[in-house]
Amino acid sequence: MYRELLGFVDSVKNPYLNKLLSLYFVESPSFAKAFQFHSAAKSVHHGFVGGLLEHTLSVTKLCDYYAGYYPQLNRDLLLTAAMFHDIGKVKELSQFPENDYTDDGQLLGHIIIGTEMVSTAIRAIKDFPPGLATELKHCILAHHGELEYGSPKKPALLEALALNFADNTDAKMETMIEALNAGGENKGWLGYNRLLETNIRKTAE
């Protein structure tokens, strides 16, 4: 999966965004290792070893599809935001087997942590366009879509809206898949799921 993600890094043509992605995903072995083995959550969705990579790759693939379908989208910006949107989770959550919130995770959260990580790397790239930096950081800050869901900002750019939809789609799909799998061979209704806010069951064969 990581090799596939690197393929998306290579596909980003903007030299500033490509360099920014490379600083983390290509040129930092310690980050690459942490990213590949981290979870995307303590629970809820992708809360397992490799969950962060799996979720990020899924979101990136969805964003790549959106970029192909909606020509108004800036593909380079959207895919960069997709690959960076959850990098703060490598510091928000501790490593396995603990997989619990760190002090930074509790006090700041992965959205702020990730934005700070991206900002730090941007400052290391000479002449990085300020406007592009702001747009990228906005996408990360707005990727949960709503203020009550933890986003400091609501999506104000088309790319930010697309990222929010992709992130929400993959998170909700994985949440339901995990809940259905937990039901085992039960073909009936599994009861009310508080995360999905509805009663759920498997599709009848």
Which domains are present in the chain? 2-199 (1.10.3210)
For the entire predicted model, the pTM comes to 0.90
pLDDT of 58: 95
The helix-helix angle for 29-37 and 51-69 (nearest 10°) equals 90
Reading the block at residue 118, the tokens are 């991206």
Average pLDDT rounded to a whole number, residues 54-82: 97
Query: In this structure, are residues 77 and 139 in contact, taking their beta carbons and an 8 Å threshold?
Result: yes
3 state SS of 38:
coil
DSSP secondary structure string for all residues of 170-189: HHHHHHHHHHHHHTTT--S-
Residue tagged 């969950």 (tokens) = 51
Query: In this structure, are residues 56 and 31 in contact, taking their beta carbons and an 8 Å threshold?
Result: no
pLDDT of 39: 73
Average pLDDT rounded to a whole number, residues 77-85: 97
Query: In this structure, are residues 136 and 112 in contact, taking their beta carbons and an 8 Å threshold?
Result: no
Res. 25: pLDDT tops 90:
yes
Q: Give 18's pLDDT tier (boundaries 50, 70, 90).
A: very high
* Average pLDDT value for the chain: 90
pLDDT of 26: 94
Average pLDDT rounded to a whole number, residues 78-106: 87
Query: In this structure, are residues 91 and 113 in contact, taking their beta carbons and an 8 Å threshold?
Result: yes
Query: In this structure, are residues 158 and 99 in contact, taking their beta carbons and an 8 Å threshold?
Result: no
pLDDT of 44: 64
Average pLDDT rounded to a whole number, residues 85-111: 86
> Per-residue b/e over 90-105, b at no fewer than 16 CB within 10 Å?
bbbbbeeeebeeeebb
110: CB partners within 8 A, 6+ apart: 86, 88, 89, 91, 92
Q: Give 134's pLDDT tier (boundaries 50, 70, 90).
A: very high
Runs of H (alpha helix) within the chain: 2-11, 15-25, 29-37, 51-69, 75-84, 89-92, 103-107, 110-123, 130-141, 158-182
Q: Give 47's pLDDT tier (boundaries 50, 70, 90).
A: low
pLDDT of 117: 95
Average pLDDT rounded to a whole number, residues 183-198: 88
Report the share of the chain in percent with pLDDT over 90: 65
Res. 37: pLDDT tops 90:
no
Cα(108)–Cα(93) distance, integer angstroms: 12
